[in-house]
Amino acid sequence: MRQNVKRIDLNGMWRLYGRSEHDPKGEKIFLRAKVPGVVQLDLSREGYLPADLFWGENILETEKYESYEWWYETEFEAPDERENVFLVFRGVDTLAQYYLNGEKLGESDNMFIPHEFDIGGLLKNGKNTLTVHISSVTEYENREDFDIKSVLSSWFPVSHTPLRNAPHCYGWDIMPRAVNSGLWRDVYIEVRDEIRFAQTFFEFTGKNLRFAYVLDCKTEDIKKLTIEISASSGESRAYIRFPVRTKAGRSPAFVELPNPKLWWPRGYGEPFVYDGFIRIFRDGELVHEKQTSFGLRTVELQRSDVTDGKNGYFRLLVNGKEILCKGSNWVPLDAFHSRDAERYEKALALVKNVGCNIVRCWGGNVYEDHAFFDFCDRNGIMVWQDFAMACNSYPQNEDFCKKIEAEAVSVIREYRQHPSLILWSGDNEIDFMHAGFGVDPSTNRITRDILPRAVFANDSSRPYLASSPYVSKEALEKGLSYLPEDHLWGPRGYYKEDYYKNSKAHFVSETGYHGMPSLESVKKFITPERLWHYHKNPEWILHSSDQKGDDSRMMLMENQVRFMFGFVPENIEDFILASQITQAEAKKYFIERIRVGRPYKSGIIWWNILDGWPQMSDAVVDYYFKKKLAYEYIKRAQSPFILALDEPQGTKQRLVACNDTLSAVVGTYAVADAESGEILISGDFDISENCSAEIASICAEHYENRMLMISWKTNLGEGRSHYLCGHPPFSLEKYKALMKKHHLDGEISL
């Protein structure tokens, strides 16, 4: 929710100069800077760095500027007002000091949250000069002390003081090392109303809507004020008007909602959103108006500490209904986050089109902006939000805990009104990491004390999970294979291996398989002389993504292909296709295993929808927005209703109807041999709402490698899928022929 205020945009071209902190008296470089932007992109545009930082090994060139400090500078005309004038930075990466007309406004050390300053008393008529000094985070880290426990109990061989910048920027297995500096989100001046809302929150209990507020105003005004709420969704209108008695309070009665319209996840109903205004009147005169939107829904997380696969659970309930979650992990949209906003529209369209009803905002990333959550609100896509910590042993000292708490409070208050946001999670894989190093995860005060306290105090509308996956004391004692929610990163040999097939987890919140980008895309980032072969190829290794010269991730993909087809193609075209087929079959299998596994299975969030830089990866759409084969397979597998073959049990193989809607489904089906067209079985079916159930079975001929085509016609429409029978190796040539015959690639151009 944003206030209606007078705003002066300070985005555009600024002056920028910098120098190495190793040599404070050394030569400075001067260039133009784009705001929002980051220094690396300015250096690239101005010729100090290569024009395409993702071409070949160019990204390595950015490291020579990591020791630099930078000064951003611009001028602006002061507004006429001098009261309630605020300078707002939506995102600054990372260590910054701020000056207006030579006077220091303050400093910041967190790239994730906005920073603002009351500047009315420092403005002068006419032009004003604004300067932002950004220090080197790597030089700061090199001056810091480290406790040896953190060094020994982190997955990274090189430790970084956990400054509050994106964890991935130091290099990850999905991202390059790109240590950003810059004003990466909007900069502007706001002239705010004298009387305004400091906080607002709508709480829906399942029966009633309550409104809570905190005001920013003078004490003498309080009892002269009246608040009015008016919002609607279609014909349903929420309205109340009441007098103010205290600076912080709530509506004295429940906001009336005749015929309330609930917000539902995609596939389960319409994601109704109420739009309107909240207004403040003083002695009957309108003095402040704020646009608002909210959704009516309840969320509950039900989980057990351990499971044997049946006697346990991890499930999300929305409006009292269990939701079968199907979606993608949401990872950095770009290595340079000032470009995230321009990628939102295409990226979110991909999420919707492929049939996701949930995305998990991974903890190694930044927090996305309101445009992201607005889209999810309007399209019924649930958001699982990690706090921005991942795979690192973070300090437990008082200073760092205070920083985390301030960040959490800021983030929660910023986004809590979005109905799509259904879960706060403390971090990514830190419980799992600590358990592996023999450290009790419950000793992490950040996720066991600081974050739950921040959530409890600032958000009553969604649950909190300490870590993903969460390792309880019971799980620590019994073993990590008993986790009800798990990340399945297995051997990457054959995707139906016991590791995947026999997982006890009810909810799989990470799992993936590698697939090459198209040759068209590969040629955009691999130089011609290193296009093929990938063995000991530094560009392929770097874009796999590894900054240490380790080719293990490329070997994982080679291994997948060899297991699937019994050999590794010797030309790049067939290698790309074979890897994409393997990835597509694996991800289809993972999704269908969850769906046919109901009621014991409850969700899957696969890894991942889109690359944040050009690479060989688990993403199903490459950095240039070109879809891989897996995208089409996932799209069919995630339809609200499908038929799918379960894995054989003895000589029997179940045909299962998977209905992830709140309506019964009736229809007809047929299962045929993909090569001959012979109908193996057909019939009618009728399945209840929100469940999976066997509707028929076929004889499982284990020795026979063939493809089956499954088709259906229902009251919801028609659909189709396929199933690969038998055991590897499969014939690549035969698969290619059947894929073409049955148009399995859909609208994807391979």
Average pLDDT, the chain: 94
Q: Judge whether residue 187 has pLDDT over 90.
A: yes
pLDDT digits (tens, 9 = 90+) for 19-37: 999 888 878 999 999 999 9
Q: For residue 684, what are its two tokens?
A: 């009618």
**What own/partner pairs with CB < 8 Å and gap ≥ 24 does 547-554 have?**
547/171, 547/176, 547/177, 553/173, 553/514, 553/616, 554/616
pLDDT mean over 332-350: 97
Give the pLDDT confidence score for residue 349 in this predicted structure: 98
pLDDT digits (tens, 9 = 90+) for 672-695: 999 999 999 999 999 999 999 999
Q: What strand order describes the sheet that includes 209-216? A: 196-204, 209-216, 248-250
pLDDT digits (tens, 9 = 90+) for 473-483: 999 999 999 99
Residue ranges matching CATH 2.60.40.10 in the chain: 196-294, 641-741
Residue 349 neighbours by CB under 8 Å, 6+ apart: none
Three-state SS for 573? helix
Distance separating alpha carbons of residues 607 and 512, to the nearest angstrom:
5
Distance separating alpha carbons of residues 192 and 196, to the nearest angstrom:
8
Q: Judge whether residue 718 has pLDDT over 90.
A: yes
pLDDT digits (tens, 9 = 90+) for 498-507: 999 999 999 9
Give the pLDDT confidence score for residue 2 in this predicted structure: 37
Residue ranges matching CATH 2.60.120.260 in the chain: 6-190
pLDDT mean over 232-247: 93
Q: Which of 685, 677, 683 is nearest to 742 (CA)?
A: 677
Q: Judge whether residue 516 has pLDDT over 50.
A: yes
The CATH number of the structural domain formed by 6-190 is 2.60.120.260
Pick the CATH number of 196-294 from 2.60.40.10, 2.60.40.2580, 1.10.3260.10, 3.40.190.10: 2.60.40.10
Three-state SS for 689? coil
Give the pLDDT confidence score for residue 1 in this predicted structure: 38
pLDDT mean over 248-266: 90
Three-state SS for 338? helix
Distance separating alpha carbons of residues 660 and 714, to the nearest angstrom:
14
pLDDT mean over 684-708: 90
Distance separating alpha carbons of residues 503 and 674, to the nearest angstrom:
30
Q: Which backbone phi and psi does 632 adopt, to 5 degrees?
A: -70, -40
Query: Is the separation of the CB atoms in 403 and 442 below 8 Å?
Result: no
Which range is least confidently modeled, 234-248, 431-445, 544-558, 598-612? 544-558
pLDDT confidence tier of residue 61, bands split at 50, 70 and 90: very high
**What is the chain's alpha carbon radius of gyration, rounded to the nearest angstrom?**
27
Query: Is the separation of the CB atoms in 14 and 22 below 8 Å?
Result: no
Give the pLDDT confidence score for residue 160 in this predicted structure: 67
Q: For residue 720, what are its two tokens?
A: 């189709």
Q: Judge whether residue 323 has pLDDT over 50.
A: yes
pLDDT mean over 8-17: 97
Three-state SS for 141? helix
Q: Judge whether residue 3 has pLDDT over 80.
A: no
Q: Judge whether residue 703 has pLDDT over 80.
A: no
pLDDT confidence tier of residue 750, bands split at 50, 70 and 90: confident
Query: In the CATH scheme, what is the homologous superfamily, with its name and number, of domain 641-741?
Result: Immunoglobulins (2.60.40.10)
Q: Judge whether residue 161 has pLDDT over 80.
A: no
